[in-house]
Amino acid sequence: MKDLMYTVHAEDYARAIQKNIYNALLERPSMLSMLPELGGKAVLDLGCGPGAYCKHFIEHGATVRATDISAEMVQLVQQQFGDTLTAYQQDLNHGLPQEQNQSADIVVCPLTIHYLEDLLPLFTEVRRVLKDNGSFFFSTHHPMVDFSASPSGNYFKRELVTEEWDTIGKPVTVQFYRRSLTELFESIQKAGLCVANLEEGKPSEAMKEQHPEDYAYLSTHPNFIFFECKKLD
Q: Tell me which residues touch ligand SAM (CB under 6 A).
A: 6, 17, 23, 47-49, 52-53, 68-70, 73, 91-93, 110-112, 115-116
In angstroms, the CA 99 to CA 180 distance is 29
In angstroms, the CA 141 to CA 119 distance is 14
CA–CA–CA angle 190, 232, 61 (5° rounding): 110
Shortest distance (Å) from residue 53 CB to ligand SAM: 6
The answer to whether the CB of 141 falls within 8 A of the CB of 114 is: yes
Shortest distance (Å) from residue 97 CB to ligand SAM: 13
With CB atoms as reference, the residue minimizing the distance to ligand SAM is: 49
Shortest distance (Å) from residue 23 CB to ligand SAM: 6
Residue nearer to ligand SAM on the CB measure, 26 or 116: 116
Report the 10 Å Cβ neighbour count for 86: 15
- Which residues in 3-22 are b (16+ Cβ under 10 Å) and which e? bebbeebbebbbebbeebbb
Shortest distance (Å) from residue 120 CB to ligand SAM: 14
Residue nearer to ligand SAM on the CB measure, 31 or 188: 31
Residue nearer to ligand SAM on the CB measure, 68 or 105: 68
Residue nearer to ligand SAM on the CB measure, 35 or 116: 116
